[in-house]
Amino acid sequence: MDPKQIRKMYLKTWFTIDLVSTFPFDLLFTIIEGATPMAESGLKALSLLRLAKILALLRLLRLSRFIRYVKQWEEIFNFQYEMALAFARIANLMMLMMFICHFNGCLQYMVPMFFQFPEKTWVRDRNLHLDNVTIWERYSWSVFKSTSHMLCIGYGLFPPQGLIDLWVTYMSMATGALCFALFIGNATSLIQSMDASKRAYKEKYMQVKEYMQFRKLPGNLRLRISDYYENRFQGKMFDEERILQELNHNLREEVINYNCKDLVDQVPFFNEADPSFVSAMLSKLVFEVFLIDETIVKEGTKGRKMYFINRGTVTIKSE
The residue ranges of every structural domain in the chain are 1-79, 81-216, 239-318
Cβ–Cβ contacts within 10 Å for residue 306, how many? 8
Angstrom distances, CA of residue 13 to CA of 16, 61, 191 = 7, 12, 38
Q: Map residue 140 onto helix, strand or coil.
A: helix
Q: How does DSSP classify residue 302?
A: P
Q: In angstroms, how far is the first alpha carbon of the chain from the final one? A: 78
pTM of the model: 0.51
pLDDT at position 316: 87
Average pLDDT, 10 consecutive residues per value, the chain (319 residues): 89 82 73 58 54 65 67 58 66 81 84 78 73 82 83 65 79 80 78 75 90 90 90 83 86 88 84 85 87 86 85 83
Residue 164 makes CB contacts below 8 A (sequence gap 6+) with: 111, 112, 115, 118, 120, 121
pLDDT of residue 207: 92
Q: Which of 184, 208, 209, 124 is nearest to 160 (CA)?
A: 124
pLDDT of residue 155: 59
User: Is there a contact between 91 and 113 (Cβ–Cβ < 8 Å)?
Assistant: no
pLDDT value for 206: 92
Q: How far is CA 126 from the centre of its chain?
A: 44
